[in-house]
Structure 1
Amino acid sequence: MAKQRILIFSGGHLGPWALNEIEPGDFLLGVERGALYLIYHGFQPDFAMGDFDSVTPQEQILIKQGSKQFWSCDPVDKNETDTELAFTWALDQNPQEILLLGVLGSRLDHSLANVHLLVKGIAAGIPCRIVDEKNQVQLLNDTLHMQKSRFPQISLLPLTPEVQGVTLSGFQYPLDNVTLALGQSLGISNILLGANGTIRITSGLLLAIQSSD
């Protein structure tokens, strides 16, 4: 695979906003109903994978026929969710970036597990983002440059017990070498003053969540 972005379409909440994220040259990886969503909207998944226990036999045939590659696994004899299997496969391709779409939904356990997948992206050194209609989620362990987007609110939440050396520039509420502890709300609801801003930390893992009301 050429160095390109991989967009993972999973079976959570999806909408036109997700299709708007597709750019020419992107590799489209459909997971379960995410593959079906792409096909129903005129996109051919480059790869469809999962155990397909959330689709009917007829829908599975449609996915298999409508995808360039297809892989099905046993729904019982596995230790990972379908989204984690797809994400691990995507990391192995060493892409330019991974975008996770449809990985947030009504199941809080699945949503949190998918946010935690970003830790594997950090370990692999591959930029990863979770995007849905109202949020964009990134994880950093050093520096993150942010640009003004359709998500004006920016919140910072530790994913480790402490995140040290948090320094913000270009934000309405700046921080200088602050320690954020798990359970604190100090990093909630900031905004960029201009077009760009920078978040720097010296240790720990910090979630940067951009949101719109």
Structure 2
Amino acid sequence: MQQRIVICTGGRLGRWALEYINPEDVLIGADSGARFLVAHGLSPDISIGDFDSVSGGELAAIRQRSGRTIACDPVDKDYTDTEMAFRLALDMKPRELVLLGALGTRFDHTLANVHLLALADARNVNAVIVDEHNKIVLTSGEATIVQEGFPNVSLLPLTMEVSGITLTGFQYPLTDATLSIGQSLGISNVLVRSTGTIRISDGLLLIIQSRD
């Protein structure tokens, strides 16, 4: 069976994140995400990054507790620590990829991390970004949505236009609809069944489940 990989990175993290980590998961810590895992008694299979957000003592602990540590120069690199971890995980061909700590106070990093979902879709890997208030996935075809404590469901195009959008199981259904960047038509829908289905015919569509 293909593995489930969980990446912890350096955005907003808390004890809520531990609920998304299973004993059999492959754990990757990106920069201070590795510090979070070690601080909570977990041993990353891989820790990766420039580690400019951790102290020397914390880095020593990360190296000691990790199965493998990949350190890079903080200046001479092309990707963020999160993207390095994400690309590494994709090369491992997981059945599912969970990204924790990808949302936070740096909106540039948050947006870049959401865009990483397109890399996973291109590799046919199921990927999700989750925190205590949001669960974000991307589809280029069909997705099944389960509420799981996130009552609001919003749809936002990641490409300039997403067409052929058909929703079933939602309070506000759509049939063969089109969404373009800049429209808010897809914001704050609600499931009326235990599950809902979202189908599109063209484009990349972000599905954001949220709670206040």
TM-score (norm 1): 0.98
| Percentage of identical aligned residues | 54
Q: Contact (CA 8 Å) 1:48, 1:63: kept in 2 or not?
A: yes
What's the counterpart of residue 127 of structure 2?
128
Give the aligned partner of residue 178 of structure 2.
Answer: 179
1:44-97 Cα deviation digits (max 9, x unpaired): 111111110111111110110111111111111111101000000000000011
Which residue pairs with 1:48 in the alignment? 47
Stretch moving more, 63-72 or 168-177 = 63-72
Asked if 1:155 corresponds to 2:158, the answer is no
Q: Aligned partner of 1:38: which letter?
A: L
| 1:189 Cα offset (Å) | 0.2
Report the counterpart of residue 86 of structure 1 in structure 2.
85
Amino acid in structure 2 at the alignment position of 1:173: Y
Aligned residues: 212
Q: Deviations over 1:169-204 (max 9, x none)?
A: 000110010011110000000111011100000001
Give the aligned residue type for 2:184.
Answer: S
For residues 28-51 of structure 1, what are the alpha-carbon distances to aligned partners after superposition, in whole Å with 9 as ceiling and x for unaligned? 101111111111111111111111
Q: Is the 8 A contact 1:129 1:137 kept in 2?
A: yes
Shift of 1:24: 2.7
Alignment partners' CA distance in 1, 2:53 and 2:23: 29
1:205 is matched with 204
Residue matched to 1:9: 8
Note the residue ranges of structure 2 that are not aligned, 5 or more in a row: none
Task: Tell me the CA shift for residue 150 of structure 1.
Answer: 1.3
Determine if contact 1:148/1:194 at 8 Å carries over to the other structure: no
Pair 1:69-2:68 in alignment: yes
Consecutive aligned runs of 4 or more in structure 1 exceeding 2 Å deviation: none
Give the structure-2-normalised TM-score. 0.98
Partner of 1:114: 113
How many Å separate the matches in 1 of 2:68 and 2:148? 34
State the distance in 2 between where 1:53 and 1:148 align: 38
